[in-house]
Amino acid sequence: MGANIESELAIRNAELEQELTAMVEQINDGLVMAMDLSDQIEEMRVRNAELEKINRDDLNVYFSSMAYRTGSTILRAFRALGLPLPYRVVRRSYRLFGRSYRLVRRLLERAIVPNRRDASRD
């Protein structure tokens, strides 16, 4: 009986060792996958930072060109009407409406039309 129990224990011990070995292999595989994912995440972070910088640079160039076009439109409008260029209107139009051509144009029309009416009354 004692030999029978010992053989069963030896068999059970071998089975447990195999299960433990399989578990350790799964853990190792999981760690390798986690390290790979960590590397991929880091690569994605670096790439994302590069793309954000590119997007910021593109937006800066776009808004700079919009501000330039808006400013030149303001200058042309005042020159075409023969009016002096009020610094305050230009500064406000850049600050408030620098990204929208139509809004700058409306602002200028509001600023110019009352000046023309006032000039004709005198």
Structural domain boundaries of the chain?
Answer: 2-121
Distance CA 22, CA 15 (A): 11
Asked whether the whole model's pTM tops 0.85, one would answer no
pLDDT beyond 50 at 118:
no
DSSP 1: -
pLDDT tens readout for residues 61-116 = 776 677 667 667 777 777 777 766 665 655 555 555 555 556 666 666 665 555 44
Other Cβ atoms closer than 10 A to 78: 18
User: pLDDT: is 24 or 117 the higher one?
Assistant: 24
User: pLDDT: is 55 or 112 the higher one?
Assistant: 55
User: pLDDT: is 57 or 96 the higher one?
Assistant: 57
* Residue 99 confidence (pLDDT): 52
Distance CA 18, CA 22 (A): 6
* Residue 117 confidence (pLDDT): 47
pLDDT tens readout for residues 18-50 = 998 998 888 888 888 888 888 888 888 888 888
